[in-house]
Structures are given as structure tokens and as C-alpha cells.
Structure 1
Amino acid sequence: MARLTKKQKEARAKVDKNKLYSIEEASALLKEITYTKFDASVDLAVRLGVDPRKANQMVRGVVSLPHGTGKDMKVLALVTPDKEDEAKAAGADYVGLDEYLQKIKEGWTDVDVIVTMPSIMGKLGPLGRVLGPRGLMPNPKTGTVTMDVAKAVSEVKAGKIDFKVDKTGIVHAPIGKASFSADKLVGNANELLTTLMKLKPTAAKGTYVKSIYMSSTMSPSIAIDTKIG
């Protein structure tokens, strides 16, 4: 087992493992225990009382974080020529169609989000094995398959993210960077949790939000009181 560094020991010592923190307390504490030299990502891990193997208990959605993610999201717009100027004006990093389909076929996936149009989805089907595992396949439910390409690109650039419960019943989602003020982390966390609450499946029985943990890259996790989630 790897030895803890002095900074890792100091960070762990500041987190009371027997305490459930409020979102405000956790956000402030996280800034104290993040010691990376780079601007670490801050994430929430929310364990839900659902069985993701059942279609009627799948939790998936999108949320526009009020303070953005802090990450410059690279967006590929796969569009017809008449939509290219619209996508570029909205801030898409890559715009085109056939040439990018070929690049993806060859294994290129250097983007965070792909936005496309309904008429093009048929061409993306064969690329599912490349895009699916990386979470890059566009989906109408997340607003990435649309005729309003400009709006979709703008929303992603402004901090719109999509999330999905994994096979263990946990939703992992970024809520900002360690450089964010505690207030901004609180705002983003509350927006995500509020959205998750609205998505509770009617088929889910018992406790819906079982646990919430906040952490940054390489930091200890901070347990958050689920009564506020």
C-alpha cells in the first residue's frame, strides 16, 4: 500500500469521518484539503436507492450549473453545411461531418461533447462502439441531438452537463474546480441535487438519496448530510 504524503495526512486529519457535513461546510473544507498544484476538479458522488438494471429506475438527466464547470468543454458539431456557420458562431471547437466521422472511425475522440442533428444520427450508429464507452454518443434526452444546434453548443459551453446513474447506483458529476469560491461550489451542488430529486423514479422504493460525498482530485471524500439533498 502506498504511503501517504505529509499533505495527504494533513488533509485526512481535517476531515471528521464520523460527521455529516452541510454542503456549505463541505465546500469550505474542500478548499482547505485540496493540495494539488493544478486546478483540481470537484465532484459529487450521490448513491441512489434505485436498481439501474431496471428501465423504470434508470436516472439520467441534464443540469445547467449556474457557475459552469470551470472546464473549457471541447464541442464537436456534426452538422450539414447549412448549419456550420451557426455552430461555429455558438462556439463549437470542431465543425463538420464526413471528415470527422472518418476520424472517429479511426479512433479520434478528443472532445468532451458531440452535438448533432436528428438526420445525422443514422451515420453515428456504426460508431457506437467508439463513442458509447466514452459517453460521447449524442442523445435527444440530453439535448445533444437537435435542430437548434447553436443553442445546444452554447448551453454546453456555459456549463450544461449530463449525468447518468452507473450500474452500482451512483451518480458521479463534476460541480466545478478547486479554484471556485465555496459559494459557487454550493450553488452548483445544490442545482445538481435539486435536479436529481426531481428525477426520482416512481418505481424506486425506500430511501432515494442514500449518501452524498464531495471530493476533489486526490482529496479525501467529505460525507454530506442527505437530509439537505
Structure 2
Amino acid sequence: MSLAQVFKRAVLFDAGALRGATAVQARGYAAEKKSQSGLNDRQQADARNRQLEREKRKRDEKKKLQMARAAAKKVQVTPVLMDVPTACRYFRAAEVGQALSSTTISLTVKFVAPRNIQAIRGSVKLPTDVSREKVAVFTTSGELKEQALAAGATYVGGEELVKQVQENSITFDKAFATPDALSLLKPVQRTLGQRGLMPSARRGTVTTEIAEALEAARGLMDFKAADNHISVNIGRPSLSDSEIENNIKAFMAAFRRSVDVASGKQKPVLQEVILHSTRSPGISILA
């Protein structure tokens, strides 16, 4: 066989091998593309299913909210609601023989609201103060210490009061400070901050007008909704019916103002207002 024939056969063999390899690659590419196409189809199907599930949840939540709103409106027109003076007679009967310091009358407001509504919160100054708050005042001024004690502060002091906080030997519900005492609070800044008690000028709890600040804070009650209800102490059995009723009216006015601020397209619907004492059952009242 001549050299030319050998070369021709080699070329033909290489061409055949190349065609075979190209065919194999083509089949592999086709199979891969088909696999990817199947994967994309499954992904699209999963995405459609997830979208359908989200839409179904939204429809269910909307239906549940509509039913709850309808039920809430029915509760408001029920004929079994009790007036406050009558409810107070039951509370006093339930607390007979109990120490006044251990009894309170509480108000619970239930409402129906969409899930994405802004948190309902606010503050109210009740006509009759029912708080038993302990107030601490941090100051180094002897004159301001006397003013704070005269204004009703529970604890007043400088370094010695800071030391008591470090030792965790006292507890209080509100804290005020004068500017000269701020540097003394550095060792307990973290402790007070975690409890929401660290005095600050922005909140009006750092001031030289201690007596005025304590007077303004007396009876001021903060409230915040949790799980579509708000519970607050509204009085004591020893208060008169009119004092309890006026406190309820003041709180309900503040609640409605906070609802107007928080409301979007759908306003919360008042569901029920319940009054109860420490040892009595809850009573639905007109409010």
C-alpha cells in the first residue's frame, strides 16, 4: 500500500471518528437540555403551587377577619352588658375582707384588627391616680433631693442610690435624674437601659425641674396592645363609682385616639370591654 493510500485511510478514519463524537455530543446535549427543561417545568410548577397557597392563605385570613369583625359588631349590641356602678357592687362583694393594697380593678379592651396594622399604643393621665409606682430620682443637689421627696419620690440620692441599684436591693417603676447626676449613672446604664428606666433628656426624665416632672408623670399610664387586646389597672374597690367610671371614660378616649393614629384602610373594631377585680369574674360593660 502506498503512502498516499495510508494517508487517505487515516483521514477517512479520523473523519468518521469525528462524526461519531459529534453525534454523541449532540445526543448528550439534547438529553441535558431535556433534563433542564424538565427541571424548569418542575420549578415553575412549584412556584405556581406556592403562589396558589399564598393566595389561599390570604383569602382565609380575609374571611376570618370578616367573620371576627361581624361577631365583634354583634357583641356591641348584646343586651347583657352591665353598667359600671352595678359591676362595681359585684367587685366590692368579691373583695370583702381583703386588704385594700392587694385589690385592683382592671379593664380589658378586646378588638379585631388586620394583622399588618401598626401597633396600638399610647398613654393616658387618669382623673384619679391608681398607680402604685415607685419612683427613683438621681441627684447630688440637697435642695433638689428635698423637692423630690416632697413631690412623692420613693428613692432619692446620688452615689448611694446608684450603689443600691448595682446591688439590686431596690426596685422602681420610673426613674428621673438631674444633669449633674448623669455621670454617676454610667455603672448602671446598661442595667437601667434593659429595664427601660434609663433617664434621658429626650423623654423628659433628665431635668432640674424635678417637682414639675414628677407631678406631670403622676397618674400617667402607658398602654400597648398585645394579641388584639389591652389590659390596664383602672381603679380600686375603695374608689367611688364615679371615679372608676371617669377613669374608664378617660382610658377609652385615649384608646380611640390611638386607634385613629394606627388605622390604615381598615379600622380596628371594638369587640368587648371587660371589667374585673382581683378575685371576681370578668363582666362585660357598656363603654
Structure 1 length-normalised TM: 0.70
- The aligned residue for residue 45 of structure 1 is 108
Structure 1 segment 187-226 matched on structure 2, within 5 A: 187-204=246-263, 205-225=266-286
Secondary structure at 1:167 match in 2: coil
Report what 1:91 is aligned to.
152
2:187 matches 1:126 = no
Q: Is the 8 A contact 2:120 2:259 kept in 1?
A: no
CA deviation vs aligned residue, 1:55-105 (integer Å, no higher than 9, x gap)? x434132x2222221x55432112342632331232222111332223223
The one of 61, 67, 78 aligned to 2:138: 78
Tell which structure's C-alpha radius of gyration is larger.
2
- The answer to whether structure 1 residue 184 and structure 2 residue 243 are counterparts is yes
| Higher-strand-fraction structure | 1
Alignment partners' CA distance in 2, 1:137 and 1:171: 25
RCO higher in structure (CA 8 A, sep ≥6): 1
**1 or 2, which has the higher helix percentage?**
2
- What is the alpha-carbon distance in structure 2 between the residues aligned to residue 51 and residue 95 of structure 1? 45
Kept in 1: contact 2:119–2:224 (CA 8 A): no
Alpha-carbon distance, 1:126 to partner: 0.6
| CA positional deviation for 1:144 | 4.2
Show CA shifts across 1:41-60 (max 9, x none).
11112234457997x43413
Percent identity, aligned pairs only?
Answer: 22
C-alpha displacement at 1:109, in angstroms?
A: 3.8
Residue 129 of structure 1 deviates from its aligned partner by: 6.5
Higher mean displacement: 142-151 or 189-198: 142-151
Residues 170 and 141 of structure 1, relative CA distance in 2, 3 Å threshold: farther
Question: Which shows bigger deviation, 179-188 or 96-105?
Answer: 96-105
Q: Is the 8 A contact 1:52 1:58 kept in 2?
A: no
DSSP 3-state at the match of 1:199:
helix
Q: Contact (CA 8 Å) 2:120, 2:225: kept in 1 or not?
A: no
Contact 1:78 1:100 in 2 (8 A): yes
Distance 1:50 1:163, change over 3 A: farther
Residues 1:58 and 1:43: Cα distance change in structure 2 (over 3 Å): same
Deviation for aligned residue 1:192: 1.4
**3-state SS of the aligned residue for 2:261?**
coil
Partner of 2:232 in structure 1?
173
AA at the equivalent of 1:216: S
Give the secondary structure class of the aligned counterpart of 2:227. Answer: coil
**CA deviation after TM superposition for structure 1 residue 18, in Å:** 7.9
RMSD between aligned alpha carbons? Answer: 3.4
Structure 2 CA distance, aligned partners of 1:96 and 1:115? 11
TM-score by length of 2: 0.57
1:116-155 aligned at under 5 Å gives the runs 116-117=177-178, 120=182, 123=186, 125-128=189-192, 131-132=195-196, 136=197, 144-155=205-216
